[in-house]
Amino acid sequence: MPLLGSVIVPHPPVILPTVGRGREREIQNVTDAYRAAAQKVAQWAPDVLIVSSPHVVMYSDYFHIPSGGRTTGDMARFGAPQTKLNVAYDIDLRREIIAEAEAAGIRAGTLGERDAKLDHGTFIPLYFLREAGVDVPIVRIGLSGFSPFVHYRLGQCVARSIEKLDRRAVYVASGDLSHKLQPDGPYGFAPEGPVFDREITEAMKSADFLRFLTLDPSMCERAAECGLRSFQMMAGALDGLAVKPDFLVHEDKFGVGYGIATFEVAGRDESRCYAEQYENAERERLAKKKASEDEWVRLARMSLETYVRTGKPLERLPDGLPDALTNAQAGAFVSLHVRDSLRGCIGTTAPTTDSVAWEIIQNAVSAGTRDPRFPPVRPDELDKLEYSVDVLGTPEPATAAELDAKRYGVIVSCGTRRGLLLPDLDGVDSVEEQIDIARRKGNIGTQERYALQRFEVVRHT
């Protein structure tokens, strides 16, 4: 049996009377919509709930699925220890989801549990569902640092598991929207915040789940979104299914976006197999980007692809390279991304070879195979990689007042320890952030005296 339906719901603790102590009345329309969604789930009469939550422990390269047969949770962290829940896990379904993920090459399982208690991203939806009479076992799934498409594919694994075990299941995608909607909100304001909420709510209204996969990652990061990966996983669980969307509310009373919608399954619809559509769109986007690469980026790509496919580095420079590559020396960084998620970055702050070209050749191989944060790039990943090359100018001493996070990179030094950060990086908007990140990269303590240098780069993408 396929999914009966799904819901997108937020998880503001203040919505619970024991936590809000009156403030919950300021978002009464969200409470009313929550109860309406819970009543609809009750009408579907599920025998299990799949809940994805941003507040289950999250790993960059692993989906954590909490273990055990039962668990409890409360709102003690938010000043209401008397508000408690006790829930059972569907052990067989959890086991099947993990097996399906393993068969699909997705790392997921019960390892790495840090706190067995219910997180509030799960607790709050279950609170309203219990209120509506829905008291069934659950499977709780955390998010990861994997790409949007991998979250979608895990959702497909969930759907296959539900069908295989013939469960009457409802998917609960827990997640707030932007956290940067009002200047006086707890997280401040960013112009991308309202843009994100508008994009997400339009997708919710139309059940256009492909939009969950194709939103600009940089915009999403600046909007400080919460639940997008939860929604992407839900979309995967509904792959190929016709749904009836019912958009119930959007609110940003406290500077955080709260959206609620239900999606009732109404049979099959092959036009809604977004996995294939997404892959086709990604292939077209990557082909266009690859066709527009300049000589610096093409050289980096050639270097890494040659090494990964043959096990040997380039032994000679390609013909026709410009003089700026062959007759100049400079430090250079090569960065690799997969859909705006970093996949490797290695560089040199000063020249170590005879030319910028050889600097790029060696650093491209290092970025793909020797960055300790990532496993070596596999041959099947090469076509999905996006490259950028930063050629560094000569570092010069500087004070914090002379830095500019968009224009200059920074080097923080203390004795032999050094930390470097390139300029104009997504999510690094101030000099203070830039220095702090570079300092930590160099393992330099906050109380230690350090020196600053700045440098400019020429970025090739």
pLDDT digits (tens, 9 = 90+) for 175-195: 999 999 999 888 999 999 999
Task: Please say whether the beta carbons of 384 and 404 come within 8 A.
Answer: no
Mean per-residue pLDDT, 200-206? 98
Q: How far apart are the first and last CA of the chain?
A: 47
pLDDT at 60: 86
Angle, vertex CA 235, rays to CA 233 and CA 241, nearest 5: 140
Q: In this predicted structure, what is the pLDDT of residue 423?
A: 93
> What DSSP assignment string belongs to 378-408?
PGGGGGG-EEEEEEE---EE--GGG--TTT-
203 and 118 part of one domain:
yes
pLDDT of residue 143: 98
Residue 437: which domain range? 285-460
112 and 194 in a single domain? The answer is yes
Q: Judge if 314 and 241 occupy the same domain.
A: no
For residues 326 and 210, membership in a common domain is answered with no
Q: Give yes or no: residues 182 and 327 share one domain.
A: no
pLDDT at 379 over 90: yes
DSSP state of 221: H
Look up the CATH number of the domain holding residue 314: 3.30.700.20
pLDDT tens for 46-80 read 999 999 999 999 998 899 999 999 999 999 999 99
**Same structural domain, 318 and 436:** yes
Last residue of a domain, one of 237, 264, 279: 279
Are 37 and 22 in a shared domain?
yes
Final residue before a domain boundary, out of 229, 250, 279? 279
The CATH number given to whatever domain includes residue 180 is 3.40.830.10
The closest of 198, 192, 197, 201 to 219, measured between CA atoms, is 192
User: What percent of the chain is predicted at pLDDT more than 70?
Assistant: 100
Residues 321 and 379 in one domain: yes
C-alpha to C-alpha distances, 207 to 89, 151, 169, 241, 383, nearest whole angstrom:
29, 17, 19, 11, 30
Supply the pLDDT for residue 426: 80
pLDDT in tens, 392-449: 999 999 999 999 999 999 999 999 999 999 999 887 889 999 999 999 999 999 889 9
Distance CA 421, CA 224 (A): 22
Q: Are residues 233 and 190 in the same domain?
A: yes
- Domain endpoint, select from 247, 279, 311: 279
State pLDDT tens for residues 283-341: 898 999 999 999 999 999 999 999 999 999 999 999 999 999 999 999 999 999 987 78
**Helix or strand (DSSP H, E) at 122:** helix 120-131
Nearest to 251 by CA among 73, 12, 41: 12
- Domain identity same for 12 and 136: yes
CB 274 within 8 A of CB 46: no
Residues 303 and 250 in one domain: no
* Residue 276: pLDDT band with limits 50, 70, 90: confident
Total structural domains in the chain?
2
Q: Are residues 229 and 319 located together in one domain of the fold?
A: no
Average pLDDT over residues 36-42: 98
